[in-house]
Amino acid sequence: MGSLHSKTLISHQYKSPDPGKLRMELIQDHSRPPLVYVKGIPLIKYFAEALEEMKDLQVWPDDVLISTYPKSGTTWVSEILDRIYHWGDQEKCQQAPIFHRVPFLEFKVPEFPSGMEVLKETPAPRLLKTHLPLSLLPQALLDRKIKIIYMARNAKDVAVSYFNFYKMAKVHPDPGTWEDFLETFMTEKVSYGSWYQHVKEWWELRKQYPLLYLFYEDMKKDPKREIQKITEFVGQPLPEDILDQIVQQTSFKKMKENPMTNYSTIPDEIMDHTISPFMRKGTTGDWKNTFTVAQNERFDADYEKKMAGSDLHFYTEL
């Protein structure tokens, strides 16, 4: 267990939590509280509580919302956008961890600034992060018709990444074995509920809202092309050399080494990177190392039913 004193989650504008009190609160996290259902969607207990706070969300016209199902490349696209906003300026993007540069709206863990508190300190133009399905999203975000960037990732790699994340991030319930977790994922009982519903409903939303729908697999294949799409969408075209720089700075290797993107500033009591690092593999097709042949066949059959009628297609290998 690492020392709470040796780590700080907080950027300069936030007071460090009282270590004694923090430790007491975090010990409670070790109980891995069960998920709480809100409008039929299972959520991390503290995040469910944060939804009340989010009702006061004031949306500004130049806000950009980054929306994803968990483990789909949220941190990657957040870092890319922050770098675009700062023209690749290394110093400015190193000032605070990604979760303070891009407030995570429904984030709440005892003794840490909530996403809404971080948001209050965030100057315009703001980048906002959420994993919420549409049924739980504050209506104000849609009413203001702000720009939305959605990133989706194939279900099999998401499931494997999520399983490893459940193990290391102790605000989740115990995932059990991989076999157990896969069942929980397929029956849509993981935190944030159904992957299938999430990717489909945001895909449909792009027909009515200014929404750029991106795929993790495309970003892996040709990051420069995808980053250029983002610059055009947010109206911040960049010169070639800055674009190249951002591609380099946001590579998996660079982000894994960077304490401002790799979540290593979070105390081990909340995220234990010795169990599984947040920046784990960063590849497409890693699911093959975890799924058995039988699990894969069962998953495919179920997937076909759940995604029937949708024109949304994913690559599961590159």
Cβ-based nearer residue to ligand PPS, 211 or 279: 279
Contact between 255 and ligand PPS by CB under 6 A: the answer reads: yes
Q: Which of 131, 172, 273, 313 is catalytic?
A: 131
Figure out which of the listed residues 205, 252, 296, 307 binds ligand PPS, where binding follows CB under 6 A: 252
Crossing angle for the helix pair 223-233 and 74-85, to the nearest 10 degrees: 60
Whether residue 313 lies in the annotated active site: no
> Which of 45, 50, 67, 73: binder of ligand PPS (CB under 6 A)?
73
Interface of this chain with ligand PPS, residues 189 to 248, rule: CB under 6 A:
none
Residues 141-160 that bind ligand PPS (CB under 6 A): 157
Binding range to ligand PPS, per CB under 6 A, among 71-79, 132-140, 175-183, 226-234: 71-79
Binding of ligand PPS by 184 (CB under 6 A): no
**Distances 189 to 5, 8, 37, 45, 129 between C-alpha atoms, Å:** 36, 32, 10, 14, 22
CB of 219 to ligand PPS, least distance (A): 7
CA distance 207 to 216: 21
75 binds ligand PPS (CB under 6 A): yes
Residue choice 68, 154, 191, 194 for contact with ligand PPS (CB under 6 A): 68
The alpha carbon of residue 214 and the mean position of all alpha carbons in its chain are separated, in whole angstroms, by: 14
The answer to whether 69 and 192 have CB atoms below 8 angstroms apart is: yes
Helix runs in the chain, H state only: 19-29, 45-53, 74-85, 90-93, 98-101, 115-120, 139-143, 155-168, 178-186, 195-205, 216-221, 223-233, 240-249, 252-257, 293-306
Per rule CB under 6 A, is residue 67 in the interface with ligand PPS?
Answer: no
C-beta of 69 vs 303, nearer to ligand PPS = 69
Q: Which member of 67, 74, 264, 265 binds ligand PPS (CB under 6 A)?
A: 74
Residue closest to 162 by CA, chosen among 66, 73, 49, 100: 73
Report the alpha-carbon distance of residue 102 to residue 83 in Å, rounded. Answer: 11
Neighbours of 204 (CB within 10 A): 13
Cα angle 14, 271, 177; round to 5: 155
User: Looking only at residues 279 through 318 of this chain, which bind ligand PPS when binding is defined by CB under 6 A?
Assistant: 279-282, 286
Residues in the interface with ligand PPS (CB under 6 A) total 21
Active site residues: 131
Give contact residues for ligand PPS (rule: CB under 6 A). Answer: 68, 70-76, 157, 161, 164-165, 250-252, 255, 279-282, 286
